[in-house]
Structure 1
Amino acid sequence: MALNSDLLRVFLAVVDTGSMSAAAELLGQTASGVSRGLSRLEEQLGVTLLVRTTRRMELTEEGHVFQERARGIVGAMDEAEECMRVRHQQPSGILRVDASAPVMLHCVVPHLADFYERYQQIRLELTSNDRIVDLVEHRTDIALRAGPLGDSSLHARHLKTSRLHIVASPQYIARRGRPRTVAALDKHVLLGFTQPDTLNTWPLRHAQGNSYAARPTLAASSGETLRGMALAGVGIACLSEFMLRRDLDAGRLIPVLDTLDNGYRQPLHAVYYRNTQLARRIGCFLDFLSERI
C-alpha cells in the first residue's frame, strides 16, 4: 500500500483546524473533497482515524498514533522539497507574525529596518495580541510567546530568556516608601495581569516559599499598560527585563527587593507550523531575530 502525501496533508489539516470546512479553507479545497480524501485514507489504512463529535473532529487511538508518523513523513518531504526548490532563491512572500505588544515593541520593531534591508522580498504583517492565538484561526505564521510553553503540536524555537524585575518609579517610592520584605508588599499598590494568574507569580524568595503570589490592586491585560502605570507612579509591577532595560538604566524605574530574586528567567519562544511555502521565510526571520535579541 502506497500512501499519497496529499491525503496525509488532508488528515493533518483536519486535525489542526478541527473541522472539514476549516481544513478545506486552509488547503484551498472543497469540504466535500476533504471529506472524500479523509475517507480514502481511512480505507487504505483499514482504520478509523477521526470521529465526529457535536463540536469538532476527535482523534481515535489509532489516529493519535498515525498523526505522529504522518507529521514526520510530511515534515521530511517538505524539508527535502524546500531545500531543493529554494536553494538558490531569495526568500519572498508574506510572513505573518503575532506577539504581545511588549514583545513586538521591544524585541521585534527595533530590528525591522535591518531585516527589511536584508530580506526586501519578504513582506511582514505584524499583529499584537496579549492572549495566545490559534495560528490557523488567525492566519498567523509565527507567534512569539513569553513564558513557559504548554504541550502543543506546533514547532517551537527558543530565542532568549529574560529576568523578571520588581520595579516602581522614584515618585512612588518617595510617596509610599520602598518595601524591605516580601511581606511588606501586602501594604503596597501592586500592578498585575488580569490573566493568566501565572503571570502574577513574582520570583521572590521568602520565609514561606520560593515565589510570591501577588494579588493585584490594579490589573491590566497588557504588560505595556502595566509598564506605563509603573512609570506614572501608580504602583509596583513585575515585568520582563527586555521591557525595562532602558527605564532601569535611565532611573525612571527602580528595582524593588532585588536581592530576593529566586533566579527564574522567563523564556521567549517562537512557535509555528512547518510547511513548504513558509519554511524558508520562517527560517530567515527566526535566524535574524536570534542574532539580534
Structure 2
Amino acid sequence: MVTNHSVTEFILSGLTQDAGKQKVVFGIFLILYLMTLLWNILILVTIKRSQSLGSPMYFFLFYLSFSDVCFSTTTAPRLIVDALSQRKIISYSECMIQNFSSHFFGCMDIFVLILMSFDRYVAICKPLRYRTIMSQHICHALVNLAWAGSFIHSSAQLFLALKLPFCGPNVIDHFFCDVEPLLKLACMDTYVINLLIVFNSGAICLLSFVILLISYIFILHSLRNRSTEGRRKAFSTCTSHIIVIILFFVPCIFTYTRPPTTFPMDKMVAVFYTIGTPLLNPLIYTLRNTEVKNAMRKLIVV
C-alpha cells in the first residue's frame, strides 16, 4: 500500500511468476531447507555432545553451523511460503528486519570462516605454539569479536536502508529484502549510498576472500616439508575449507562489489549463497572429516 508518498509494504517478485514453476520452487526449496536444518543441527548436537570434538576447529565449526541455520532461515522460509502465495507481501518493518538478519548471519559466516583458516594456519605452521595461541579463552574472545563485527556491519546496512525514501513502485525484484534491490525503488539519487554499500559489504567480502586465500597459500606452502601422510591429511582439511570459501565468496563478491545494475542471474546467485552454501557446508565438512563422521555414528548408536 502506498500512501502519502511513503511505502508501508513491499511486494517480492520471488524467483518466478509462473504458477506451475512456483509449485516446483515450493517443493525443491522446502526439501533443501529441511536438509539444511537436519545436517547443521546434527553437527551442532554432535559437537556439543562428543568429547572427541573439543578442539578449536570444531568449536568454530559449531558456530559456522549455527550461523548457517540462522542465515538460511532468514530467507528460505519466506521464499517457500511466497511460492504458494498470490501476493508476496512483506511489510516495511519485516523487510528491514530481514535485511539486518541476513547481513548479520552472513557476515558471521564470513568471520567464522576466517577464524577457521587462522586455526588451521596455527595448527600447521606453528604446531608447537598451537595450544597457547588457540587457548579456550582466546577462541571465545575471537567468536565474541566475530559477533560484534557482524552486528556493526549489519547495523550499517540497516542504517543505509532506513535512509532510503520510497515513494512507489513497491515491487522488489528479488525473493528477499536486500539493500541492493531496494536501491532501485528509492526516490532519490542512490549513487553515494551504493558506494557506501560497496565499501561496507563489498569490502568485507573482497578483503576477507583475499585474507583467506593468502592464509591458505601460506598453509599449503608450509606442507612441502611434511611427510606424505601429514601432507595428505592437512591438504584434505584445507581443500574442504577452500571449497567452502569459493562457494560462498564468489557469489557474494559478484553481488556486492559492483554498481547497482541488474543481471538475469542475480536471483540464482543469491539462492546459491543464502540457501545453497548453508546446505553444502555441513556436507563438505562431514564427508571429508573422519572424526565428525565417527562421532555422528556413536551419537546415532547411543
Q: Output the TM-score relative to the length of structure 2.
A: 0.20
Q: Considering only CA atoms, is the larger Rg found in Structure 1 or Structure 2?
A: 1
Specify which structure has the higher proportion of strand.
1
Specify which structure has the higher proportion of helix.
2
Q: Output the TM-score relative to the length of structure 1.
A: 0.21
